[in-house]
């Protein structure tokens, strides 16, 4: 990596299942402006594309206002981009309307700017690698637990997309052979224990069955009010039911961390996503389980840290993705711009 020139800004966008965060970000990672709009459920794929185009145009005007040249667009989204076809993969659970779209080509054509698109957690890891905790690492991994559980890998200083763009999905590895069914069609995935909605579901079941009066009291008698932050608060207050749910989430996340250590032996594992905002009540047992499951020698050399950027992490990641793609060495495979019969 060479030091980027401090001129111009990247239109950085982080598309989630419920909202689109966007911003103007310098190649150095500093954020000049931010926006956030909700993603409507109507309008399907076209609706989401219109939203992205509107956000890009809005940021372009902002850049003009600030006297900044626009370098291009970086976009992270919650799914895999097939590296052979450039198309959004079939496993995008949070935004099914985007399935099969060649979003990069569409944005490039409509906006006349270079565009880099990838999975949002790949972008987050690149953000940590360029601007945050993982700076200078040759081998790094990310585990992001929020609405889902995602991951990303960096090996020999390069993002690992794998043969078709699906690499890094640490949230969907089985940690229980006959574990609970997962939305992905498998069972016993890390996600089924540690994603926010799954943590809330388990706590609700406990509250409903009368096994956790403390949780029910915190939810003012209404189990539907229970969400993951409430479960962590109840656990921190010593509620046995909440402690049990958090313990199981920590055990699954510890197993995921150990899998990353024993399989990829990274220098650093970055833990991101809303679930880790629980803090020590989750992080401490995750570390203990990782010690239980991983080889001692590689674990001793692995820094396990919280993500550097909680708020603007997604757009910093999208900017890092753009910078990574534009500065990529000739040998590197990019998602190609091939004609997309489904678009």
Give the nearer residue to a second copy in terms of CB position, either 110 or 248. 248
DSSP helix/strand/coil, 212: coil
Look up residue 54 and give its two tokens: 């509107």
CB atoms near residue 280 (< 10 Å) = 9
- Across 310-321, b (16+ Cβ under 10 Å) vs e yields eebbbbbbbbbb
CB of 259 to a second copy, least distance (A): 4
CB of 274 to a second copy, least distance (A): 22
Angle between helices 313-326 and 120-131 (to 10 degrees): 80
Give the nearer residue to a second copy in terms of CB position, either 10 or 173. 173
Give the nearer residue to a second copy in terms of CB position, either 47 or 179. 179
Give the nearer residue to a second copy in terms of CB position, either 40 or 162. 162
Specify the length of the chain in residues.
343
**What's the burial of 221, exposed, middle or buried (CB within 10 Å: 0-12/13-18/19+)?**
exposed
Look up residue 250 and give its two tokens: 């920590």
Give the nearer residue to a second copy in terms of CB position, either 32 or 183. 183
**What's the burial of 340, exposed, middle or buried (CB within 10 Å: 0-12/13-18/19+)?**
middle
Look up residue 61 and give its two tokens: 């005007």
Give the nearer residue to a second copy in terms of CB position, either 23 or 165. 165
CB of 165 to a second copy, least distance (A): 7
DSSP helix/strand/coil, 278: helix
Asked if residues 122 and 160 have their Cβ atoms less than 8 Å apart, the reply is no
CB of 55 to a second copy, least distance (A): 28
Give the nearer residue to a second copy in terms of CB position, either 115 or 253. 253
Chain position carrying tokens 């809005």? 58
CB of 174 to a second copy, least distance (A): 5
Residues that bind a second copy (CB under 8 A): 80, 82, 89-91, 138-139, 151, 153, 155-156, 158, 160-170, 172-177, 184-187, 248, 251-252, 255, 258-259, 261-267, 292-298, 301-302, 333
CB of 250 to a second copy, least distance (A): 11
CB of 267 to a second copy, least distance (A): 4
Look up residue 229 and give its two tokens: 């932050």
DSSP helix/strand/coil, 29: coil
């Amino acid at each position: 990596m060479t030091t980027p020139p401090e001129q111009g800004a990247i239109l950085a966008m982080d598309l989630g299942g419920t909202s689109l965060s966007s911003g103007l970000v310098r190649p150095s990672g500093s954020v000049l402006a931010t926006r956030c709009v909700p993603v409507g459920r109507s309008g399907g794929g076209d609706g989401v594309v219109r939203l992205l185009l509107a956000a890009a145009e809005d940021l372009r005007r902002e850049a003009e206002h600030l006297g900044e040249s626009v370098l291009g667009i970086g976009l992270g989204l919650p799914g895999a981009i097939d590296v052979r076809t450039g198309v959004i993969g079939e496993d995008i659970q949070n935004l099914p309307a985007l399935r099969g779209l060649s979003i990069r080509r569409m944005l490039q054509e409509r906006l006349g700017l270079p565009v880099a698109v990838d999975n949002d957690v790949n972008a987050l890891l690149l953000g940590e690698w360029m601007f945050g905790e993982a700076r200078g690492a040759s081998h790094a991994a990310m585990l992001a637990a929020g609405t889902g559980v995602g991951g990303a890998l960096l090996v020999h200083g390069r993002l690992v997309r794998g043969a078709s763009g699906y690499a890094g999905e640490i949230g969907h590895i089985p940690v229980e052979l006959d574990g609970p069914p997962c939305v992905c069609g498998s069972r016993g995935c890390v996600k089924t224990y540690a994603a926010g909605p799954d943590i809330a579901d388990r706590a609700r079941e406990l509250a409903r069955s009368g096994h956790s009066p403390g949780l029910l009291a915190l939810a003012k008698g209404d189990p539907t009010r229970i969400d993951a932050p409430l479960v962590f608060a109840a656990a921190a207050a010593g509620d046995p039911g909440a402690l049990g749910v958090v313990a199981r989430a920590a055990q699954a996340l510890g197993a995921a961390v150990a899998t990353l250590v024993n399989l990829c032996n990274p220098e650093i594992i970055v833990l991101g996503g809303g679930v880790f905002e629980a803090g020590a009540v989750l992080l401490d047992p995750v570390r203990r389980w990782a010690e239980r499951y991983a080889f001692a020698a590689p674990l001793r050399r692995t820094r396990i840290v919280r993500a550097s950027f909680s708020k603007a992490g997604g757009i910093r990641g999208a900017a890092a993705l753009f910078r990574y793609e534009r500065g990529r060495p000739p040998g590197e495979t990019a998602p190609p711009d091939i004609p997309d019969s489904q678009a």
